[in-house]
Amino acid sequence: MDWFGRAKIAFTHSPSPLSLRRNDGTETDLLKVCEVTTPPCQLNPLLFNGHLQTMWTAVKQHGPPIYYRRRIFDADHTTYTGTFAADFAVDPHQDVDESLPPRTAFFSEEQFAKIGSDDSRPMLIVLHGLSGGSYEIYLRHAIAPLVMDGGDWEVCVVNARGCANSKVTSGVLFNARATWDVRQIVNWARRTFPNRPLFGLGFSLGANILTNYVGEEGVNCPLKGAIAVGNPFDLEVSNKALQGSLLGKQVYSRVMGTNMKKLINLHKDAVLEHTNLNLDQIQKVTFLHEFDREVQTVTWGYPTENAYYRDASSSDSVLAIRIPFLAISALDDPIAVFDAIPFEEFKQNPYTVLLTTSLGGHLSWFETSGGRWHPKPICNFLKHMATEINLDAVTRSAYEAGRKYQFVTDFDPMRRKLQVISN
């Protein structure tokens, strides 16, 4: 039993975690880094289960005042064409743009032309959850310690197509394995800031996308480390759990489905211009799985929404990760549910560690003070990796490139049924 809001913390990991070398020459490993950077999890005892924690997010709080400058990028992918918006955390400014979220303004051409740098400050690339954006409170809480009050990190949030008041300019929005935009930003950042160590952070659907991206990149991943928070991992299992309970279907799935329908309606003209989606059918959508049936299957050619869920899930991607990777999940999460967490996959891969808390809900972890717990392990891990660990000396073990996971036959964890042609 969790006593008075004190959540139990556990780590799932390989028997031989990834070896790491500190900058002073001493040895450690990924598990020890995760353990030393994870503080006790003392949550609000009045929010004593995942439903209460998750629903408390509906109580609007201002959150840290993060300021952004936005840049619209032209996609460089031959299939996933169009544009997408990236928001960069910047010093406070007085510019007001009513077309953008609060405290967000566009870069001028002159400002963006000067953004390149040879500095070696660490940089974090962030992916938000379903239908969200850089303005999300859970996201701003997580990055505030890195960029406010003397924080020396650079942070860029990649907004999903059509989210955070960005425009839809092509025939697709986004989906759970839409790794192309984050790949483009990471590659752009590698060229623009050649000396910066790059890290990734994803929340919920963004965590699933980030996990897929890191798995797809394998040993060639430009990131020095990544964190996935509240990842639903197995989307089919998570979807069935949502439909199988009263709260799951009538509250969470209904809210998410309604939000996605609103997003389509917000971009109605662009959707009519660029897609063959049936807007009349979309207006009948109530639940998230219905939205995916009307939008994702039509857009991508999946026969059913379950086929889409299976193909876009990131549980197998865990096996292909070859950079230090931390996943943070609450076992009482009613959306990214317990049964979808791939515990055995984390035990197979020494590059990964799964941190679970017995309480916390979905991207919640509300403390008695009104703050949130999740920024602490996130920022502690990132800062420790960036300052204490020799990132150029990550041990290449027998689990390195080319190693196959042997079952009955060779298993390629990144094989997908939907083949997307890359340029």
Catalytic residues: 204, 333, 362
Handedness of CA 243, 248, 253, 254 (dihedral sign): positive
Q: How far apart, in whole angstroms, are the C-alpha atoms of residue 279 and residue 294? A: 9
DSSP state of 262: H
Q: Which tokens is 413 given?
A: 């964890």
Q: How far apart, in whole angstroms, are the C-alpha atoms of residue 391 and residue 324? A: 10
Give every CB contact of residue 392 below 8 A, 6+ residues apart in sequence: none
Q: How far apart, in whole angstroms, are the C-alpha atoms of residue 33 and residue 14? A: 14
Q: How far apart, in whole angstroms, are the C-alpha atoms of residue 391 and residue 36? A: 18
Q: Which tokens is 404 given?
A: 């196959």
Q: Where are the beta strands (DSSP E) in 3-130?
A: 6-7, 9-13, 19-21, 27-29, 41-42, 67-74, 83-90, 104-106, 123-127
Torsion angle, alpha carbons of 191, 197, 202, 206, to 10: 10
HEC sequence for 109-177 = HHHHHCCCCCCCCCEEEEECCCCCCCCCHHHHHHHHHHHCCCCCCEEEEECCCCCCCCCCCCCCCCCCC
Q: How far apart, in whole angstroms, are the C-alpha atoms of residue 84 and residue 161? A: 6
> Residue 72's closest CA among 170, 213, 195?
170
φ, ψ for residue 106, nearest 5 deg: -75, 145
Handedness of CA 169, 174, 178, 182 (dihedral sign): positive
